[in-house]
Structure formats: structure tokens, C-alpha cells
A and B are shown apart, each in its own frame.
Chain A
Amino acid sequence: MIPLAERIASLTDVSLPDESAVEHHVGPSMLDSVEESLLEGETHYTVRPGIPELRRQIAAEIERKGGPAPDAEHPEGNVLITSRDSESLFVILLGLEVAAGDAIVSSRDHFPHAALFRLMGLEIHRQTRLTNNTRLTYRRWTESSKHHDLLALAGEADLPDILDLGPDLWNESLKPFPPAEKDRTLIMGNLNAFRGMVTFPIAYVSGPRAHMARYRRWKQALSICSAAPSQRAALYGLAAFRERDC
């Protein structure tokens, strides 16, 4: 038995699901597109924060939906590509230098990332009020009715505010876009809504350009960059979505 770090004790109830149950619906043309890009030489690390075109498209969509406008000259500088939502949240928390005993205020009791918060030693406070140890607010687009309250709370104490869009950035039926502050709100989400993207998972973090270096640093330390085939599949998924939309 190898001696383990004490933090591992917080993970005893984390299940290890059988991934065989995950359904994969990758269209042949998406797969062909991924293969073609690889055969053309995209087999190397991508630019560390992610393929610029993918980052630009995510930044543009956030702005189009009513979110903060990205940097005019370098919109890709506002976005970091990650492998999954949980990785996005992890690099955000590392970048914010949260410490054990800090608290997150949220409007929900249950979180998809509760184990990650626990791993980081964070308390989750459901009440929308500040305590001495409050370090940030966290809200999910479709699962919170208190966006304004939480953002106001973050503003009151000058705290970072995380807005988790889940897979819904391209969901045209969801309106309006939740309130966000350009210099305060970190937006995270994934591209799982596009057909095939569960097989090629991609997620993102978007925030003030001046702050992104700290999240990029931890993403790079964690896994250098996100897998090139997934990023290429995401670009294919976005193009196919636009084509259908037109």
C-alpha cells in the first residue's frame, strides 16, 4: 500500500462509472473531419489555451447572447479551452487561489461539482449572504433563479462570480442571458449540445483577458492543452450548427 495524501479521504464516495454506457453519436462527417485534420498534421500540441478560431467563436457567441464583449483586437484572449466543465472549474479555483475553509455562495443545494469543491476543502453556502470566508459566487444558468442576487452579492464584497452555462450557450430557446459583469464574471460551459461532442468533449472558461493568464497557467500545468481531435471536432460541430441554422 502506498501512503496517500489526506485529501483522498474526501473522495471515498466518488463513484467510477462504467463508461461503456455512454452513448456515442458521432456522425461520419465529423469523424472524417477529425481524421482529415490529423492526417494534415494537426497531431501536435495545439496552442496552449486552445485553437484561436475556436476561442474566437466562443467569445463571439457569448457577446451575441448578451454576455460581456471580448477584447476587440484579440477576442481569443478572453477564452481558454479545457477538456471538461470540471477541469474548467478546477483551473478557475486554482487560479483564484482558494484555500481550504473558504466558502462559495450558491443558490443550489446540490452541485454536479460537489466532490471537486469538497476536494478543495470549500464550504458551500446556500444562503445568499456573505460570511467572513466567502470567496466567490457560483451559479448555473438554468438552475438558478437568483442570478441578480448572487451577482449583487459578489459586487458587494468585490468577489469573483462564476456563471456556469453548462451546454446551453448555443441553445436559442433559453433567454435572456443571465446578468454578468465584464470584470467580475467568469463564464464556463461546454459544447456537449452539439451532436458528437460527448465523444469529443470540450469545455471553456471565458473571463477578463487580463485575468486569463492565471487560469491558462494551471490548465497548462494540468494537461498542457486540450486534445487536438476534440478541438477540431468542436470546430466542425460549430460549422455544422451554423450551416443548419442558415
Chain B
Amino acid sequence: MSSRAISSRSGRDASQTLTHLIQTAARMSDVIRLGAGDPDLATPQEIIHEATQKLRWREGSVSSRGLDALRRAIAESFLKEKNLRYDPDMEILITNGAQEGLFLTMLALVSPGDGVLVQDPRYPSYDQAIEAAGGRIIAVPTGRDRDFTLRPEDLQSRLKGAGVLVFVNPNNPTGSLVSPDAVQEIAEVARKSALTVISDEVYEKLAFDDAEVLSIAQCHAMQRRTIVLSSFSKTYAMSGFRVGYLAGPSNFIDAVARLKSVISGPSLLYSQYAALAALTGSQESREKILDTFTRRRRVTMEGLDSLGIPYGHPGAGFFIWADISRFGMPSDEFCSRLLKQARVLLFPGTSFGSRWHDYVRISILQPEERLAEAIDRIGRFDAALQGHIERERNES
């Protein structure tokens, strides 16, 4: 087979359990959905009004790489916030959300057989994108002892055959945030090993407690080997608009622009105007969104603490990676029973890597009172389960 082509695919899908859970939940009433990663908050109205006005008057010029003004605004934001300089004409590309950016990036970087280092657990779309490109996943395990963050030494031991590192910071599904010092160490490994880094920074504006989020592109000599992947979906509650971007070296951006031109064409202009409004308008709504998630995170963490359910420290974003091993059943079964008996939808850890049967991903995308109610329901589910176990023990 020509290595030029998109590779043959197995068609395997690890998401069948997840699909079944979601479909079951859709048929039920009064389910508290703490599964998906789609912000429940509405897009700020001023963003919608502004996008409509700009499209009405058709402001600005647009190339197949995206709206000029949006690319410039993104470049200015990189310079202002991270002191990173990008040429908006050559080094930034607008995509249909970060998901498309990720998929096209894999096609642009990975040839059949190439090794791609990915943190485990991981967002499952990475597997599909790597699969489409014919790449080989090299999973880098993480653990609770280090809050599920990527460690340089674990990376170092798995470099053989790897050309690309996917670095998701802040992380989905774990919510972990790698400290700036650790990012520097990971950058050093990547630099010495000549890795190209895909830096997924979708949750970077949603860091809690004023924590610093260092982009790996900011580390010494890393910008030229890093592709930054981001979107507006999470930060501004704009998931339905499907708009994101890539920033990276011009030869890479040029390649992805051609791929995008062939596969999906330019991104929706209306959504690009909305993204421009989000980025250049008042950031008050963004701060309100972060405040909301901060309160929800506290309610959820306190609830889990009260139930004695351990979890990795959520440093950013809207996910908590919780250890359900004490319930004595694999995460698929736990989520299925929790849904049926307590009407709470969580996503099983095995949706994010086959070995995570002791974990679940909890999203905090519900109002505080619903999160508190979910914790209460999990508590009752736990009590009923313990009662059942106790009765069985007595009977035997």
C-alpha cells in the first residue's frame, strides 16, 4: 500500500457502550447528565448579535484559511497572552472546531506506521484520527499518585518509533493541569527527541484558582515544532458553531489548509464572525462562565469527598476523573446501573482507554443544585448497593 494514502481502517469502535448509555438516558426522564462535554450554558447574546450584524454587512475579507480579521485577532491574542508571535497569513488556520483541527493535523503529520505518543487516559477522538492516518498509538500511562498528569520520565521510556506527541493540557478526561515546571521538562524531552508536539489547549482559559497554564510552544525552541490546537466551544459556550483554529509553522499550516480545502472547504463564515466577536469583545461573559464552573467544581468535589470517592485534582476545564473501584464493579457496569437505578449519567473510564475500568468521567455541566442532587443520588445508590451486599452476606 502506498504510504501516501489514508490508511485502511479496522472500523473497530470502543464507544458502543457509551452510545448505548446515551441512548438509554435519552429514553428516560429526570436523568442528571454528567457525561458529555458540551457546555450547558448559552452563548453570550452579544456574540450572536455581533455575528449576525457582521454577516449582514459582510465585513472583512476571507481566504480559505479563514476570516482575515479572526486570524489577526488570534495572532494578537497569542502575542499578548503568551508572547508567541504567529504570522496570521501563514501560520494560523480556522477549522470546524478543534476536532477537525485534530483530525486534519493527524493526516498532515502521520504516515502509516508512525508512532504517536498519547497520554492514557485520553479523549477517544485521538484514537480515531490516528487510526485514519494509519498511525500507531503509543500510550503513555498516568496515575492517581500524580493526578493523572504526564510525566517526563514516562514519556522518555516510550520514545522508540515515536515522531509525534499529543499533549493535552489542561486534560480531557482527567481535568488535570500540568505545572509550568513539568511542561518545561516535557518540552526538553520533546526537543531532544525531535518530536513534533500537538498541543491541545482547548481548556486553557478554564483554569481554576488563577493557575498558570504554560503552553509548550512557549518553552525554549518549541514554537517551531509545536502545533497549537484550540477552539471557542468551551471557553465561550459555542460548541454548536463549530469553530476552532490551528497555529503552527507555515509549512504545516499550508499542508493542513490544502487538506481542509479538499475535505471540507472553508469554515462557516457566520461562526467565524461569532468567534471574532468572542475574542475581541468584552471578556466579562467568559469570566462569568469560569466563575460558574468554579462553583460547580467545588460542589462536586465536596460531594465526592463526602461520599469517600477519590478523584484526581481537577485543575481546569469541566471534568473530574473519579475512582469508583470501591463499588466493586467495572466502570461500564457501574455507569449502566447508576443510570438505571439513580438516573445519573456518567461516562465510563473505559471509553477513554481500555484499562480504566475503575474510573468514571464526571462533567460538571449542570447547575449547582443538580450537581448536588446527583451526588445525593450517587450516595443513595451506594447505600442501596452496600445494603444489598450486606443482605447477601447475612443470607450466606
Residues of B within 8 A of A221 (CB): 99, 103, 125, 128-129, 132
Residues of B within 8 A of A200 (CB): 268, 270
Considering only residues 16-39 of chain A, those with a C-beta below 8 Å from chain B are 16-20, 24, 26, 28, 31, 34-35, 38-39
Residues of B within 8 A of A128 (CB): none
- Judge whether B184 is part of the interface by a CB distance below 8 angstroms: no
Q: Is the CB of A11 within 8 A of B43?
A: no
Q: Is the CB of A222 within 8 A of B63?
A: no
Q: Is the CB of B239 within 8 A of A45?
A: yes
Counting chain A residues whose Cβ lies within 8 A of the other chain, the interface size class is 35 or more
Nearest opposing residue in chain A for B100, CB measure: A223
> How far, in angstroms, from A28 to B58 measured CA to CA in the complex?
12
Q: Is the CB of B63 within 8 A of A4?
A: no
Return A229 CB to nearest CB of chain B, in Å.
Answer: 5
The answer to whether A222 and B107 touch (CB under 8 A), given A20-B62, A119-B262, A229-B271, is: no
Nearest opposing residue in chain B for A233, CB measure: B270
The answer to whether A16 and B42 touch (CB under 8 A), given A38-B48, A94-B9, is: no
Q: Is the CB of B263 within 8 A of A229?
A: no
- Judge whether A1 is part of the interface by a CB distance below 8 angstroms: yes
Q: Work out how many contacts link A and B, with CB atoms closer than 8 A.
A: 215
> How far, in angstroms, from A5 to B4 measured CA to CA in the complex?
7
> How far, in angstroms, from A211 to B163 measured CA to CA in the complex?
35
Return B8 CB to nearest CB of chain A, in Å.
Answer: 4
Residues of B within 8 A of A19 (CB): 62-64, 266
The answer to whether A6 and B38 touch (CB under 8 A), given A11-B262, A45-B240, A227-B268, is: no
- Judge whether B139 is part of the interface by a CB distance below 8 angstroms: no
- Judge whether A8 is part of the interface by a CB distance below 8 angstroms: yes
The answer to whether A28 and B56 touch (CB under 8 A), given A11-B255, A199-B270, is: yes
Considering only residues 1-30 of chain B, those with a C-beta below 8 Å from chain A are 1-9, 11, 13
Q: Is the CB of A11 within 8 A of B268?
A: no
- Judge whether A99 is part of the interface by a CB distance below 8 angstroms: yes
Considering only residues 267-290 of chain B, those with a C-beta below 8 Å from chain A are 268-271
Q: Is the CB of B64 within 8 A of A101?
A: no
> How far, in angstroms, from A26 to B285 measured CA to CA in the complex?
29
Considering only residues 111-155 of chain B, those with a C-beta below 8 Å from chain A are 111, 114, 125, 128-129, 132-133
Bits for B83-112, please: 1 = Cβ < 8 Å to A, else 0. Answer: 000000000000011011001000111110
Residues of A within 8 A of B43 (CB): 38, 43
Q: Is the CB of B2 within 8 A of A35?
A: no
Best-buried of B6, B132, B249, B258 by chain A (most CB within 10 Å): B6
Residues of B within 8 A of A116 (CB): 262-263
18 of the cross-chain contacts (CB-CB < 8 Å) are A2-B249, A4-B251, A5-B108, A7-B6, A11-B258, A19-B63, A28-B56, A31-B52, A43-B241, A94-B6, A116-B263, A119-B259, A119-B263, A218-B128, A218-B132, A222-B263, A227-B96, A227-B240
What is A's interface to B at a CB cutoff of 8 Å? Answer: 1-11, 14-20, 24, 26, 28, 31, 34-35, 38-39, 41-46, 83-84, 86-87, 90, 93-94, 97-101, 113, 115-116, 119-122, 199-201, 214, 217-218, 221-230
Top-3 shortest CB links A-B: A121-B5, A100-B5, A228-B240
Beyond A17-B63, A230-B268: 17 further Cβ-contacts under 8 Å? A2-B109, A2-B196, A2-B252, A6-B3, A6-B4, A11-B258, A16-B258, A31-B52, A87-B265, A121-B5, A199-B55, A218-B128, A223-B97, A223-B99, A225-B242, A227-B96, A227-B243
